[in-house]
Structure 1
Amino acid sequence: MFTAIVLYLLVNYSSLMAAIVLLVVPLTLIVAIPETATTFLAYEHARLAGGLVPINNYHLLLFIWSTIMGIILYTEFLTWYLSRNKRQIK
């Protein structure tokens, strides 16, 4: 749901607003309710490599956050590139 909200903000409003929400909301939750946030992030989903590598919620969230941050940065770069004046290109 959080991912859908961030992508909605990215598409309908601005990439800056999406990036701010992507970073501020989790940090605020960690500061406001650290016990619950720590419990949520430490929840283990699976173990790989014979039980040596745990996959926790924070692994999954970092994967999603880095993907969304890459999309946000790509749209910013693409917007900047397409908005340049054509005389500057020549």
Structure 2
Amino acid sequence: MVGIGTAVLVFALFAAIVLYLLVNYSSLMAAISLLLLPLVTIVAIPETANAFLAYEHARLAGGLVPINNYHLLLFVWSTIIGIILYTEFLTWYLSKNKRPIK
């Protein structure tokens, strides 16, 4: 049985690994691991991964909109992709060759 605590722990560990790779190695490595870690998990243990991602936490809008773990995964993905893109843009902007002030 998967609970909200387990889901938060798994997604926090996932985000920590990706952010560690982003800070200490490269944004490309972080982006690749952002995609490969869930895919490898789904290929390696499909039943467990599907059961984990399909676990329903709540229903919104009078029971019409379920909130599953894959919704949380998409939230984590979009947040980390935004952080990766922001750091790439900031790095590019700071490394531009600026003309010296005369």
Question: Which residues of structure 1 form unaligned runs of 5+?
Answer: none
Count of matched residue pairs = 87
Moved over 4 A (4+): none
User: Could you report, residue by residue, the CA deviation over 1:40-83 in whole angstroms, capped at 9, with x for unpaired residues?
Assistant: 10000001111111000000110011100110011111111211
Percent identical residues: 86
Q: How does 1:7-86 map to 2 (within 5 A)?
A: 7-86=19-98
Q: TM-score, normalised by structure 1?
A: 0.90
Q: Aligned with 1:86: secondary structure?
A: coil
- Give the alignment's Cα RMSD to 1 decimal: 1.0
Question: Which residues of structure 2 form unaligned runs of 5+?
Answer: 1-12
